[in-house]
Amino acid sequence: MDKLIITGGNRLEGTLPISGAKNSALTLLPCALLTDEPVTLRNLPRLADIDGFQHLMTQFGVSHSIAGKRPEDFGRVVTLEATRITSTVAPYDLVRKMRASVLVLGPLLARAGEATVSLPGGCAIGNRPINLHLDALEALGAQIEVAQGYVKANAPDGGLPGGDFDFPLVSVGATENALMTAVLCNGTSRIGNAAREPEIVDLCNLLVAMGAEIEGIGSSDLTVHGVKRLNGATYKVMPDRIEAGSYACAAAITGGNVLLEGAKADDMLATNHALRNIGVAVTEEKGGLRICADGPLKPTNLSTAPFPGLATDMQAQFMSLLCRAEGTSVLTETIFENRYMHVPELRRMGADIEVSGRTAIVRGVERLTGAEVMATDLRASMSLVIAGLAAEGETQVRRIYHLDRGYERLEEKLSLVGAQIERVGDE
């Protein structure tokens, strides 16, 4: 098992390319199940989660071909083709490895009229039930049965009629599943209190390119007029706003000056607002977003929230950054109940953090020191890397397979802007 060795203290400076968005790509991939024509995705990041999802897609008879295989390239071009659905079963062995696998439920049901998908396994950061997915599909006309660890969904004879559903809570994944189902329903569907994340907009834009009819894109009230069939399309995955925000925190904690090449400010408004509040300059440029931190960091109070609020996926990275602020900050996690598992590891590096329920009090310290630390989930892993970049001495981050799920060739990108970081085998 690999680990990262980071020697802290280097100021990050230069240009760092931002990859295609993991959270968007995992939603765009199952769209290939909705048509018998090829769907080509450009700027698809090279990540363990993406590879795992493509492997799941082969279970249903989806073929894929990869262009741009040069190892020095960031991202790649993948064409998926589901000429015929050969299976509508997503088995436990494949689904348990990645919660996003539940996103095949809607497309399989819409295209084939049936789907049997394993219930996803547990999640380290908290409880993530799929009841909202199932409630939404039932509102669109699906017959749902949960038995022996599987969701079995069927469309009535003649296909799904469509319907109206208002989410009692905002859910990104459930909104995505509902959208991918509604586009092939016989009638018009309305999805209320829908998630508004940029990744939802990216999904809508691909579906429209495939011939779907969707009104209200970017709002919390979506109207979908079902169509008989969808065509193929070629589509570029949006830049990863969480990756960009993560590297912005890395630049800021080192007092750096980094151009995040390809980052889009409109997708990162809450992140950029938080950065500016603590004294970091964030400037839009033609090629992306420039992050410059040449003074002391100020404390702040932050609370995670659904878009357009601060993404829960940025909480851990901001916590590391605020460990070096001059004063006391307060972080409140409103989305997941167990997303402070990085706190004990940051304390090993000299951080002063106190947790009470969903609130973390972060008192800035004069210095962080390198230590051996262990990653517990994807974003927690990145928080340890960020802390390590600013820490005195050497930091070893273990269990970095979490990082490989969501950060394309992280050590290469950080090395481009001056970080002293390497991946080695963990004995």
- The answer to whether the 2-18+239-425 and 22-236 domains have the same CATH topology is yes
Is omega for the bond preceding 120 within 30 degrees of 0, making it cis? no
Q: Tally the C-alpha atoms within 13 A of residue 406's C-alpha that lie toward its C-beta.
A: 22
Tokens of 72: 């020095």
Residue 103 has a CB neighbour count (10 Å cut-off) of: 27
What b/e string do you get for 141-155 counting C-beta neighbours within 10 Å, with b at 16 or more?
bbebeeeeebbbbbb
Q: Is the pLDDT of residue 242 over 60?
A: yes
Across residues 117-126, what is the average pLDDT? 61
Q: For residues 239 and 19, is the Cβ–Cβ distance under 8 A?
A: yes
Distance in angstroms (rounded) separating the CA atoms of residues 220 and 88? 31
Domain map of the chain by residue range? 2-18+239-425, 22-236
- Indicate the range of 61-75, 102-116, 157-171 predicted with least confidence: 61-75
Q: Tally the C-alpha atoms within 13 A of residue 299's C-alpha that lie toward its C-beta.
A: 13
Provide the percentage of residues in the chain whose pLDDT is more than 70: 96
DSSP one-letter string for 211-266: T-EEESTTSSEEEEE--S----EEEEPPB-HHHHHHHHHHHHHTT-EEEEET--GG
Q: Of the ranges 117-121, 219-223, 279-283, which one carries the lowest mean pLDDT score?
A: 117-121
How much is the average pLDDT of 31-46? 97
- Residue 22 labelled as part of a binding site: yes
The average confidence (pLDDT) of the chain is: 94
| Whether residue 63 has pLDDT greater than 60 | yes
Kindly state the average pLDDT of the residues 358-376.
96
Q: How far apart are CA 418 and CA 427, in angstroms?
A: 27
pLDDT band at 383 (very low <50, low <70, confident <90, very high): very high
pLDDT score at 70? 60
**Does the annotation list 23 as a binding residue?**
yes
Ramachandran region of residue 321, left (φ > 0), alpha (ψ -120 to 50) or beta?
alpha
pLDDT score of 98: 78
Least confident of 33-42, 346-355, 399-408: 399-408
Q: Mean of the pLDDT values across residues 59-73? A: 80
* Higher-confidence position of 284 and 66: 284
pLDDT band at 72 (very low <50, low <70, confident <90, very high): low
CA 263 to chain centre: 15
Higher pLDDT, 305 or 67: 305
Q: Does position 120 have pLDDT exceeding 90, yes or no?
A: no
- pLDDT at position 323, please? 98
Q: CA 410 → CA 254, 286, 406, distances in Å?
A: 17, 24, 9
231 known member of a binding site: no
* Distance separating alpha carbons of residues 48 and 376, to the nearest angstrom: 16
Residue 339 confidence (pLDDT): 78
Alpha-carbon distance of 8 to 14, in angstroms, equals 17
Q: Could you tell me the pLDDT band of residue 68, with boundaries at 50, 70 and 90? A: low
Query: Rounded to an integer, what distance in angstroms lies between the CA atom of residue 93 and that of residue 125?
Result: 21
Question: What single letter denotes the amino acid at residue 53?
Answer: F
The string of DSSP letters for 194-221 reads: ----HHHHHHHHHHHHTT-EEESTTSSE
Look at residue 427 in the predicted model and tell me its pLDDT: 63
User: CA 144 from chain center: how many Å?
Assistant: 28
Which CATH architecture is the domain 2-18+239-425 placed in?
Alpha-beta prism (3.65)
Q: Is 240 marked within a binding site?
A: no
- For position 296, what pLDDT does the model report? 95
CA 270/CA 244 separation, integer angstroms = 13
Average pLDDT (173-184) is 97
pLDDT at 123 over 50: no
- pLDDT tens digits, residue range 249-308? 999 999 999 999 999 999 999 999 999 999 999 999 999 999 999 999 999 999 999 999
Residue 69: the pLDDT is 58
Which helix (DSSP H) or strand (DSSP E) does residue 317 occupy?
helix 315-322
Average pLDDT over residues 202-229: 98
Among 3-7, 66-70, 152-156, 323-327, which stretch is predicted with the lowest mean pLDDT?
A: 66-70
Q: Which residues are catalytic?
A: 123
> Taking a C-beta distance cutoff of 8 angstroms, is the pair 313, 22 a contact?
no
Residue 124: the pLDDT is 42
Q: Which CATH code of 3.30.70.270, 2.60.120.260, 3.40.50.300, 3.65.10.10 fits the domain covering 22-236?
A: 3.65.10.10
